[in-house]
Amino acid sequence: MDILTPKQKIVLQAIKDFFSENGEMPTVRELQGQAGRLGLKLKSLRSFFLYLNELEEKGYIERTSEDRGIRLKGVTSESFLDVPVFGMANAGAATMFADQYIEGYLKVSKKIVRNARSVYAIQVSGTSMNKARVNGKTIQNGDFILVDSSWNHYDNGDKVLVAIDGLATVKTYRTVDGRNIVLLPESTDKKHKPIFLTDEDDFVINGKVIDVLKMK
């Protein structure tokens, strides 16, 4: 393969980063946004079409006429895992029923998920965690969170998925006195309130949120 210029390297890295985070290739407009976050801020989409042509000519990618028609050379299915998606959880009050049925799968980079057996995805509904950050990413309405169910100890500040009376919610974990737990919202909307739990309540902490997959 030919040597890349600094700007070509940024575009190639932007493609890889987007694919690792979302499990699919970017559109040209999404690539423009991802490259901008890496420091390559160009207003013209045509510039990115030219960069894609150059990357293809140098043997780093292959392209088709489809909207997401980019394929990275040397990236195989062995680099990714299929993570099951189990319904939705509410980032607000616990109002969504916890769903035990697999609704589909997300293709996720092995760089993100190392223990596939204990990790699953949940789509978030609501705004009570839109200021919370996991790996530098906020938890917005419609995002998918990756939950590791193998966690058996939680520290104050961990983002957790909790089923309360069979209803699922995502909140920030904190212990009050070593026994009781408070589930805290982290939101721009002041309507969201903490949820206080005792060891006598019917709840299960289903796992720790380890990453956020952005859908837009």
Convert the pLDDT of each residue in 40-58 to its tens digit. Answer: 998 889 999 999 999 999 8
Instruction: Report the CATH number of the 6-72 domain.
Output: 1.10.10.10
- Sequence ranges of the domains in the chain: 6-72, 79-213
| C-beta separation of 61 from 13 below 8 A | no
| 6-72 and 79-213 share one fold | no
Helix, strand or coil, per DSSP, at residue 56: helix
Backbone CA torsion sign across 34, 36, 38, 40: positive
Residue range 67-93: mean pLDDT, rounded: 76
Nearest CA among 10, 189, 211, 209 for reference residue 111: 211
Instruction: Report the CATH number of the 79-213 domain.
Output: 2.10.109.10
pLDDT at 83: 84
Q: What is the pTM of this model?
A: 0.64
Name the DSSP letter for residue 142. Answer: T
| C-beta separation of 172 from 185 below 8 A | yes
Name the helix (H) or strand (E) containing 173: strand 167-175
Angstrom distance (rounded) from CA 130 to CA 7: 33
Q: Indicate if the pLDDT at residue 200 is higher than 80.
A: yes
- What type of residue is 94? A
Q: Indicate if the pLDDT at residue 131 is higher than 90.
A: yes
